[in-house]
Structure 1
Amino acid sequence: MLPLLYPELEKIISGLVVLNSAPCLWLEEAVKKAKDLNLPDLSLEMQIFTENPTQETFNQALVACIPYYFPKELAIGREKLLALPFNFVPAVWWQRKAIEINFEAKWIPQQVPTLIVSSEFDAICPSILFMEDERFQRPNIYKQYIKNAGHMPWIEKPSEIKEIFTNYLSNIRNI
């Protein structure tokens, strides 16, 4: 998300990969996607965290959010996600900042070879946000949609991600 706020990157970088992200505020679409997937309500956990933002309440909310990250591969996702050290402060900062500035991509790569990866069951940053954003329908932008994967497809489908990256890298080497 953050690189899309900086149009000056067009002249600096030679490639961009966007993994399970969004070109705009994502919260409304995330709620719709969660309803479509019949995911559990997070209101209580999020309220507890919002009222008392600590690492402990964040961790409890994260446990409740696991189906939003890995609805199809819950066991492996739960194990991997809970093993990662998360500091809640940057996540909270970005979510608040994104709302405050009404986050919207300011830069749509014009020449920079760009790979956008999204997943079928991602209820955090739903794929529809990039797929339906016409600004990102460009010949230099390659979109890859991974079926049967959630917000972190590199955990659920590592060989598919590897193949996507290999193809992307071979394409930008030929430019």
Structure 2
Amino acid sequence: MNPKISDFGLARTFGGNQIESNTNRVVGTYGYMAPEYAGNGIFSIKSDVYSFGVLVLEIVSGEKNRGFVHEEHSNNLIGHAWELQNEGRSMELVAKCLGESINVSQVLRSIHVGLLCVQRHPEDRPTMPSVIMMLGGEGPLPSPKEPGFYVGNSTQGFYDGSYGISSNSEPSITKLNGT
């Protein structure tokens, strides 16, 4: 599969046959970068899947991942969605402005797929063609594993509460702002 066909982000900058790359300079916007990329500069088409998952959760909730603050915990939007999913309360994530006009089963499916996309380990994340099929389908979905940048019971240490990066390789971070 050509990574340029399914992915919308940084995967386009790599050669068509490249599955993974390691960069010396990490470029992107905090809150959307996959943990393996933000922490170690390792980028793959699964990094774009992570970013897509963040966008799905943002659309459903009407909140931005970056700067998300919840009064009861220190998790970001991803961690908040993960905890609600585990407690069977995913509908609490849905933006109030959507009101009664939503298709509940489709919204719950979108949250579930979003959480599959933001799983901590790239190999656990689906491919973009799979994501499209899952969003449009009605079949059962696999259970998502713990997401990246989750504060709760995380033992990986990627997230320090402010999207600071802990890494031995000390990559530089450049924030890109859209116009």
What TM-score comes out, normalization by structure 2 length?
0.28
Which one has more relative contact order, counting CA pairs under 8 Å at least 6 apart? Answer: 1
Greater helix fraction, Structure 1 or Structure 2: 1
